[in-house]
Amino acid sequence: MMRPLVLAVLFLSTAAVAASSPPHHPLDPLSAAELSAVRAAVLASPLVPARPLSFHYVGLDEPDKPDVLSYYAAASTSSPAALPQRHAFVIARAGGQSHELLVDVTNATATVLSHAVHRGAGFPSITDADQAAAMALPPQYAPFVASVRWRGLDVGDVACGVVSRGWFGASQPDYGGARVAKMVCAVVGDGDGAATANVYARPLEGVTLVVDLDRMAIVGYEDTGVRPVPKAQGTDYRADKVGPPFTGPETKPGVVVQPEGRGFHIDGHVVRWANWEFHVAFDMRAGTVISLASVYDADAGKWRRVLYRGFVSEIFVPYMDPDEDWYFRTFIDAGDYGLGVSAVPLLRGADCPANAAYMDGVYLDAAGEPVTSEDVICVFERYAGDIAWRHSDPYMQITEVRPDVTLVVRMVVTVGNYDYILDWEFKTSGAIKLAVSLTGMLEMKATAYTDAGQIKVDAHGTLVAENTVGVYHDHFVTYRLDLDVDGTSNSFVKNTLVQMRNTGDSGTGTPRRSYWTVRREVAETEADARVDVNGAPPAELLFVNPARRTAVGNEAGYRVVPAGATAASLLADDDYPQRRASYTKKQVWVTPYNRSEKWAPGLYAEQGTGDDSLAAWSSRDRRIRDEDIVLWYTVGLHHVPYQEDFPVMPTVSGGVELRPANFFERNQLIGTRPPSEFTYQNCSCGAAAM
């Protein structure tokens, strides 16, 4: 990303920044007022004269890390700390080009600082405006109308949506470098209103359009033939269509009551709870961004940094059907659409429990209008009935138990059919657990099959209902985690468990023939830190701070502990989608801190080639020992659909835990109050609110 400094006053664009509720933390997301000022500054700038101009990304351009750390250090000593300059980074489309702008929003007047045109491969995200405008095109396109009528339907019964065509090199037409995408369609009505809201269950199989999103015109079309449209019956998921009667399993309701009130405090974007403090922000591409997460060390009497900044960098969802209508479905959700843009309002009391607090997010739509996503992040204390630690000693008649309470920061990102529940769970043990839960709908393919016994070739999926195949696919959710374990200078350690023989001269002479021990290796360069967590022999992976040792001389560290969902990509290395997300062959990568290395498949991920991706950066084999280093962790799931996934999927989960490892002198929870002080009686609720 080039950032030339433009000095001539003549070229500065200015716009007023509203003074209301100014951000007061350097990592606070851009406010609606700042966003509006960005829009005005960009549109007033002579640097991008082409129109129309659409905004595809506007977000806080992360301040330089040393500036943030200085600010943070000064703030904690109660000295007045000057906020670093606030900049917005903008990607806009105009004149058939992708434009990068840096806009200063520090002052009342917003100023365009720099501008560059993207010359490489790939495009910015597909916007809601792209979708809305493109949806209107097929009904005006004669071949599409013919295809629909050939299937005995009306164009009013069908709706189409834009999906990335991926990148397949010269195997796909270039369209003169235009920003093109595919469109796939579904049957949404039966002539007299919507027969089902589950559009994914009734695809209009065989019809694919190619749309030029900048000219907003259909430029390609294919109809590979009629397949039956799966029936609507049994596909809906709306409560008022499913029942009454509701025949599903009956459970009694439960409400978490906090008799002493909530345990967390939200001050602007800073959350404080138990022994944790962190900053929560919203970004239109990353969704939730957690920054400056620090844990209180009761023995040392001070706050210690764990995570400087963490967010979901990308969600790669390749489908495993190589046929004409499906081969390109290799979604890269953050880059193609934006996770923050796709985040949905949380349903209070259902997506999050009754004791949750909510935060909004705001971003600019394509036209540059601020859009507020209400209730897009929730924060709640979880009382799952788990145990934090316990011990019974029957001989001494001792029982000590400490129930566990955790803090969850949740966002739900719905990208088309799939709903991703993305949780950051903070534990009083000092651990942070990142969890990905998947639900929503399968992506389904219409087929003539009505019985699995009819299938004689590879159907690339499971017959989940009549005429309906749930196509095989993968999910790879990649986190960028700039861990700063008690400071910025860290190392990456692999502690491999190796079998040792205890025989002969090198043995101890006891009858034991073997045991395992730990062989410690410190990664020198990036090549040492590409890890398949399912490999053998097993290894524990840590970020350590070599300059911080405990009282008994162990290096302070945090361990990276996979928590299920450790699938790695099975695509061939030379396959186009795999080249774009080649990092998905290993769950763990470590790179030196680089502010521009944020998005695992690259900044321009939509139709990107992977030339500017995590694996490409890592191939530079840079030094990562005693450096400011970043962890990239990918949660992976292979999905073979089953009928239980139809018409909606029961939630499945996986993730990773960052767990203190010789970070503390001892278990921080040894000093927690026993539960006898917390026994409440007479807990009840008033009448149900219907």
Residues recognised as catalytic: 333, 418
Q: What is the DSSP string of 514-548?
A: EEEEEEEEE--BGGGG-B-TT-SS-EEEEEEEEEE
285 vs 382 by CB, closer to a copy of itself: 382
The residue within the footprint of a copy of itself, chosen from 5, 9, 142, 396 (CB under 8 A), is: 396
Minimum CB separation of residue 436 from a copy of itself in Å reads: 12
Q: Does 230 bind a copy of itself (CB under 8 A)?
A: no
85 vs 437 by CB, closer to a copy of itself: 437
The one-letter amino acid at 527: A
In a 13 Å sphere around the CA of 363, the CA atoms on its Cβ side amount to: 29
Kindly identify the residues of this chain, within the stretch 455-494, that bind a copy of itself according to CB under 8 A. 458, 460, 462-466, 472
Of 55-63, 306-314, 339-347, 582-590, the window that binds a copy of itself (rule: CB under 8 A) is 339-347
Phi, psi for 676 (deg, rounded to 5): -60, -20
R_g of the chain computed on alpha carbons = 27
Q: Does 383 bind a copy of itself (CB under 8 A)?
A: yes
Q: Does 58 bind a copy of itself (CB under 8 A)?
A: no
Q: What is the DSSP code (8-state) at residue 72?
A: H
The candidate with the shortest Cα–Cα distance to 17, out of 1, 41, 50, is 41
The residue within the footprint of a copy of itself, chosen from 402, 522, 622, 626 (CB under 8 A), is: 402
The residue within the footprint of a copy of itself, chosen from 291, 495, 609, 618 (CB under 8 A), is: 495
587/632 Cα distance (integer angstroms): 8
Of 110-118, 139-147, 501-509, 598-606, the window that binds a copy of itself (rule: CB under 8 A) is 501-509
Question: Which H or E run contains 142?
Answer: helix 142-150
The residue within the footprint of a copy of itself, chosen from 49, 177, 193, 261 (CB under 8 A), is: 261
Q: Residue 55 has which token pair? A: 């905004």
Binding map of a copy of itself across residues 161-180, x = CB under 8 A, - = no contact: -------xx-xx--------
The residue within the footprint of a copy of itself, chosen from 6, 68, 306, 408 (CB under 8 A), is: 408
326/528 Cα distance (integer angstroms): 37
The residue within the footprint of a copy of itself, chosen from 365, 389, 525, 627 (CB under 8 A), is: 389
Q: What is the dihedral of CA 611, 577, 598, 276, to 10 degrees?
A: -150
430/306 Cα distance (integer angstroms): 9
* Other residues' Cβ atoms within 10 Å of the Cβ of residue 136: 10
The one-letter amino acid at 542: L
Q: Does 508 bind a copy of itself (CB under 8 A)?
A: yes
> Are the C-beta atoms of 491 and 544 separated by less than 8 Å?
yes
Kindly identify the residues of this chain, within the stretch 658-677, that bind a copy of itself according to CB under 8 A. 659-677
Q: Total binding residues for a copy of itself by CB under 8 A?
A: 193
Kindly identify the residues of this chain, within the stretch 417-456, that bind a copy of itself according to CB under 8 A. 419, 421, 427-431, 437, 439-441, 449-454
> Are the C-beta atoms of 201 and 235 separated by less than 8 Å?
yes
Minimum CB separation of residue 340 from a copy of itself in Å reads: 14
The candidate with the shortest Cα–Cα distance to 633, out of 539, 580, 560, 558, is 560
Phi, psi for 588 (deg, rounded to 5): -120, 130
> Are the C-beta atoms of 377 and 281 separated by less than 8 Å?
no
The residue within the footprint of a copy of itself, chosen from 380, 479, 583, 632 (CB under 8 A), is: 380
> Are the C-beta atoms of 317 and 331 separated by less than 8 Å?
yes
CA 79 to each of CA 26, 73, 270: distance values in angstroms, whole numbers, following the listed order:
16, 9, 18
The residue within the footprint of a copy of itself, chosen from 22, 139, 143, 234 (CB under 8 A), is: 234
* Other residues' Cβ atoms within 10 Å of the Cβ of residue 416: 18
Kindly identify the residues of this chain, within the stretch 185-214, that bind a copy of itself according to CB under 8 A. 194, 197, 199
The residue within the footprint of a copy of itself, chosen from 75, 145, 219, 354 (CB under 8 A), is: 354
172/340 Cα distance (integer angstroms): 30
Q: Residue 32 has which token pair? A: 């609606």
Q: Residue 25 has which token pair? A: 């933390």
> Are the C-beta atoms of 115 and 92 separated by less than 8 Å?
no
Kindly identify the residues of this chain, within the stretch 101-120, that bind a copy of itself according to CB under 8 A. none
17/442 Cα distance (integer angstroms): 44
Binding map of a copy of itself across residues 584-613, x = CB under 8 A, - = no contact: ------------------------------
51 vs 240 by CB, closer to a copy of itself: 240
Minimum CB separation of residue 67 from a copy of itself in Å reads: 31
> Are the C-beta atoms of 646 and 465 separated by less than 8 Å?
yes
- Across the beta sheet with 461-465, the strand order is 444-446, 468-471, 461-465
The residue within the footprint of a copy of itself, chosen from 372, 594, 619, 643 (CB under 8 A), is: 643
327 vs 593 by CB, closer to a copy of itself: 327
Q: Does 371 bind a copy of itself (CB under 8 A)?
A: no
Q: Does 136 bind a copy of itself (CB under 8 A)?
A: no
Q: Does 404 bind a copy of itself (CB under 8 A)?
A: yes
Of 42-50, 98-106, 207-215, 341-349, the window that binds a copy of itself (rule: CB under 8 A) is 341-349
Of 4-12, 146-154, 378-386, 627-635, the window that binds a copy of itself (rule: CB under 8 A) is 378-386
Of 35-43, 148-156, 278-286, 644-652, the window that binds a copy of itself (rule: CB under 8 A) is 644-652
Q: What SS3 class is residue 668?
A: helix
392 vs 596 by CB, closer to a copy of itself: 392
The candidate with the shortest Cα–Cα distance to 435, out of 477, 381, 401, 385, is 477
The one-letter amino acid at 278: F
The residue within the footprint of a copy of itself, chosen from 239, 456, 504, 505 (CB under 8 A), is: 239
Kindly identify the residues of this chain, within the stretch 547-586, that bind a copy of itself according to CB under 8 A. 549-554, 559, 562-564, 567, 570-572, 574-578
119 vs 673 by CB, closer to a copy of itself: 673
